Every structure is written in C-alpha cells, then in structure tokens.
C-alpha cells in the first residue's frame, strides 16, 4: 500500500481533545492555538451521551473550521454511526482508538468512503505488535501513542523511561512505512509545566513530532518544544549555506563533518518553520 501524500497534517505538533458532548467548548478549542482539534466521542463521553454528542458534532461541523473526530473503537456498538461523520464536510481526519490490526483501519475507511487522514491510536500490546501493518494500512498519516491505555494493558508504570523503547519502535515503524512521525500521548499533569515540557522534549528526542493534550494551557508549551530553537535554526542555516557553496567538496560545520544525512536534517528544520 502506497503511503499517503504529505500534507500539513504531517506537520501538526499539538492535538487538543475537546469532549463531543460539550459543543460550547468547540469554538474555544479552535482559539487555543492548537494545530489540530480532536472532538472526542470516546473516553470523554459517557455511553448514555454518545448519540447526543454525535448529533451535536454533526450540527456544528463546517468546512470553514475543519477538525479531527475521535470515534469509538471498531468493536463498540457506536462505531458504525460514529464513522458516518467522516462523510460530512468539516471533518479533516479521524482518530481511531484501540487500533490493533490493519483490518480496523480498513473497516473505518470502508464506512467513510473517503481518503481523509486516519490517525490510529496504538493503545495495547496487540496494537504495538501489529504497528507496522497498521502504519501501512490505507489512509494512515501518523500513528498516535495512547500511553495511559497502553500501560494499563501492559500492567506497567507510566514512567517515560519505561515507555521510551516503545516510542522508539513507533518512530522507526513510521519511518519504514513512509508516514509522518508519530504523536505522543497526553500528560495528565495539567498545572505542571515542567513535567509537560520534560515529557514533550523526551518524545521529541525519540523521534516523535507532536503530542496529544487535554487542556488548552498545554498547547503553547507543546508547540514551543516541537518548534526548532533559535540555535537549531542557526545551525541549519550554517549547514545549508556551507553545502551550497561547497561545489561538491567535503565540508565541516562547527568542527563536524557534513554529509548527506546532516544536510537532510538541516533541510527538515528549515522546512518545518516554513510549514
């Protein structure tokens, strides 16, 4: 399966959840500065409120304010009706929770009948084991790491050092599949900016390029962490200037040899700012 074409969605850094049964919060979420808004029909909405939330979302959707929708998992009684939202204008992509195999993605795409981006959430051992086939499934743009549910499924601590090998695995799989770099899980500590910053930078070091967030106050920190620093930008410009003036000769910048991977890294930093 050919990887989906690159789009702005591949550059998104912050993904803010907003409950699907709180339509009064939708516009506020759009004003938060988040790169993408995820209107949630799953964890944030009680079973008795699922239908009401779905109706509220359908009534609010508009092409002028595109959002992502997190539907309920494939094995739930709400999945079929949730997936129908993917046919409506204003839905820019769908987040699929509890993704465990490529067939889950195919089931979603067959119902939406579109090629809009799909963001599978890897939240279980089975999903992690099958992450490569999930990443190669139709319309998948980026994987999301549902860290809290994953830890619950694995019966292990939520510490970053425990999760880091799995982060590295998802980053490698995304690269092999030719899709965008993965998106990290939420930081539950809403009022602790130091914890949020440390966890965000930790994900960035492991090859992630974005993070889920549960409160608007987290957006600014996440965007700042994933944006190139002034030092990174200056380094990238030095590398590209030296490379363009080298006429094929070997060059060094800051005392270090510059080869093709270094040039590609510098180009990626500059392109991220343009995007």
Q: What is the C-alpha separation between 129 and 132, in angstroms, rounded?
A: 8
Secondary element (H or E) of residue 142: none
- Asked whether residue 123 is marked as a ligand-binding residue, the answer is yes
184, two tokens = 């990290």
239, two tokens = 């590398």
**Residues 164 and 203: beta-carbon distance below 8 Å:** no
Secondary element (H or E) of residue 160: helix 160-177
**Residues 45 and 19: beta-carbon distance below 8 Å:** yes
Query: What is the pairing mode between strands 118-122 and 91-96?
Result: parallel
- Asked whether residue 149 is marked as a ligand-binding residue, the answer is yes
Which residues does the annotation place in the binding site for substrate? Answer: 70, 123
Which residues does the annotation place in the binding site for Mg(2+)? Answer: 123, 149
Which residues does the annotation place in the binding site? Answer: 70, 123, 149
């Amino acid at each position: 399966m050919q990887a989906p074409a690159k789009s702005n969605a591949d550059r998104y850094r912050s993904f803010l959840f907003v409950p699907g049964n709180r339509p009064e919060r939708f516009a506020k979420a759009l004003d938060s500065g988040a790169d993408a808004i995820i209107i949630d029909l799953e964890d944030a909405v009680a079973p008795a409120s699922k239908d009401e939330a779905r109706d509220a979302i359908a009534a609010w959707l508009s092409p002028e304010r595109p959002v992502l929708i997190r539907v309920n998992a494939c094995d739930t009684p709400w999945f079929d009706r949730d997936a129908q939202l993917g046919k409506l204008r204003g839905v820019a992509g769908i987040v699929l929770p509890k993704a465990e195999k490529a067939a889950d993605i195919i089931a979603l795409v067959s119902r939406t009948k579109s090629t809009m981006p799909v963001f599978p959430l890897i939240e279980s051992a089975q999903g992690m084991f099958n992450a490569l086939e999930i990443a190669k499934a139709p319309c998948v743009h980026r994987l999301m790491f549902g860290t809290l549910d994953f830890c619950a499924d694995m019966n292990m601590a939520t510490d970053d050092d425990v999760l880091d090998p799995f982060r590295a695995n998802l980053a490698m799989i995304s690269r092999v599949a030719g899709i965008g770099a993965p998106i990290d899980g939420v930081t539950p500590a809403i009022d602790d900016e130091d914890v949020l910053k440390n966890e965000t930078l930790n994900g960035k070091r492991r090859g992630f390029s974005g993070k889920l967030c549960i409160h608007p106050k987290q957006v600014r920190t996440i965007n700042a962490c994933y944006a190139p620093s002034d030092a990174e930008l200056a380094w990238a410009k030095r590398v590209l200037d030296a490379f363009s003036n080298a006429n094929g000769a070997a060059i060094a910048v800051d005392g270090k040899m510059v080869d093709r991977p270094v040039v590609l890294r510098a180009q990626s930093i500059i392109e991220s700012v343009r995007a």
